[in-house]
Amino acid sequence: MSVKKVVLAYSGGLDTSIILKWLQDKYQCEVVTFTADIGQGEELEPARLKAQKLGVREIIIRDLREEFVREYVFPLFRANTVYEGEYLLGTSIARPLIAKHLVDIAIATGADAIAHGATGKGNDQVRFELGAYALKPDIKIIAPWREWDLTSREKLLAYAQQHDIPVDMLKKGQQSPYSMDANLLHISYEGMNLEDPWQAPEENMWRWTTSPEQAPDRPIELELEFTKGDITAINGQTMTPAQVLTQLNKLGGEHGIGRLDLVENRYVGMKSRGCYETPGGTILLKAHRAMESLTMDREVAHLKDELMPRYASLVYNGYWWSPERQLLQQLIDSSQTTVNGKVRVKLYKGNVIITGRQSPTHSLFDPRIATFEEDGGAYHQQDAEGFIKLNALRMRIAARLKT
């Protein structure tokens, strides 16, 4: 492959710092680095300085926090998306955003290739590349982990020392031993003792959440306001999407919300064990379902629940930019026009407890019909007899054949 200029998804960590140098040596090409700020909570300036030391002339750092939550996280949660019953897709949902900007920068800078640091064993290689091909079909993609012989952490560190690559992990005790991914939606942990599914995660591994046992003994209540399925205010204070998720992460983390220990099925075929912290997303999911329960038609809600696993698999497997995901999104977004109102939640020692919901404009809850007291003729209970007999008709016919 002949490459003159490549855009590298660059974090400044061990893998991508080595990839930067490797690309320069292997392809004799110019490298443009792209670092996305999606709320990972790390200072990004060191990444710029490392890239400069390695001779990079075009260093691009973009603050994508609002775009990330507004255009990716919120649409995901409008569908109540959960993969394999538990995972809130914190890593998966960030990849199409990064792929989009990689392609945009490649076009803007005249680069003829993009590169990423995802391994050949994982899902991210699929997500990055499916996204890139969907947006620019003729893009060249370099995946060093599928090409080089640096197949262990020891070889990577030796390469870094040989080429004087500044990598923090060379200094003992400065970084977590786990493979981690963080953004505004979640933080994930893989590797080390987690590769034994029987081993419990160490308490000092968790970064965002207090253990439920150590969380405050007094709960807090939040009033979350929804507009067309998205939270737009907390306790009466209007916020941007990124501000909403940041605040929910803070409060949820303090009260032990959102820890998950999961063995999942990767798209490439293997099972993988990972741990996740998603405090804000856990609150958002519970509150969103509560808002829908009050404002959404029964059959629409049930149809959404039936479609959700399919939608979740599309996102997990990297098909965010596929026509089928976009078609599903149109249906989901259309369903959210009535999802307006307020939900009150209580946070207490790892639990998100719904304590109230209201929608002055779109509530389908009619207290005159639902009441156990006198309903003034709003509902005729005698009507239920014919309803039941008609629904039982096929079973009654079949039962006669058995007698």
Structure-token match 């710029």, residue found: 48
Catalytic residue among 37, 70, 112, 179: 179
Which DSSP helix (H) or strand (E) runs through 393?
helix 383-402
Residue 25 known to be catalytic:
no
Pairing of strands 187-190, 271-277: antiparallel
Catalytic residue among 11, 15, 127, 181: 15
Q: Closest Cα partner for 4 from 34, 29, 25?
A: 29
Q: Closest Cα partner for 245 from 101, 128, 76?
A: 76
Q: 322: which 2 tokens?
A: 């596929």
**Residues 242, 68: contact at Cβ < 8 Å?**
yes
Q: 39: which 2 tokens?
A: 């709320």
Q: 359: which 2 tokens?
A: 């929608």
Task: From the options 3.40.50.970, 3.30.470.10, 3.40.50.300, 3.90.1260.10, give the CATH code of 182-296+339-358.
Answer: 3.90.1260.10
Catalytic residue among 92, 124, 127, 335: 124
Q: How many CB atoms lie within 10 A of CB 135?
A: 17
SS (H, E, C) 222-255: EEEEEECCEEEEECCEECCHHHHHHHHHHHHHHC
pLDDT in tens, 203-245: 999 999 999 999 999 999 999 999 999 999 999 999 999 999 9
The domain segmentation of the chain, as residue ranges, is: 5-65+91-175, 182-296+339-358, 370-402
Catalytic residue among 65, 78, 92, 95: 95
Phi, psi of 292 (to 5 degrees): -65, -35
> What share of residues in the chain are helix, strand, coil (percent, to 5)?
45, 20, 35
> Which pairs with CB-CB distance under 8 Å and at least 24 residues apart come from 161-167?
163/21, 165/17, 165/18, 165/21, 165/50, 165/54, 166/17, 166/50, 166/53, 167/13, 167/14, 167/17, 167/18
Residue 95 known to be catalytic:
yes
What CATH code would you report for 5-65+91-175?
3.40.50.620
- Could you read off the pLDDT tens digit of each residue along the chain, which spans 403 residues? 789 999 999 998 888 999 999 999 999 999 999 999 999 988 888 899 999 999 999 999 999 999 999 999 999 999 999 999 999 999 999 999 999 999 999 999 999 999 999 999 999 999 999 999 999 999 999 999 999 999 887 898 899 999 988 766 444 444 567 889 999 999 999 999 999 999 999 999 999 999 999 999 999 999 999 999 999 999 999 999 999 999 999 999 999 999 999 999 999 999 999 999 999 999 999 999 999 999 999 999 999 999 999 999 999 999 999 999 999 999 999 999 999 999 999 999 999 999 999 999 999 999 999 999 998 999 999 999 999 999 999 999 999 998 7
5-65+91-175 and 182-296+339-358, same CATH topology = no
pTM of the model: 0.95
Phi, psi of 20 (to 5 degrees): -55, -50
* CA 379/CA 193 separation, integer angstroms: 60
Residue 363 known to be catalytic:
no
Residue 2 known to be catalytic:
no
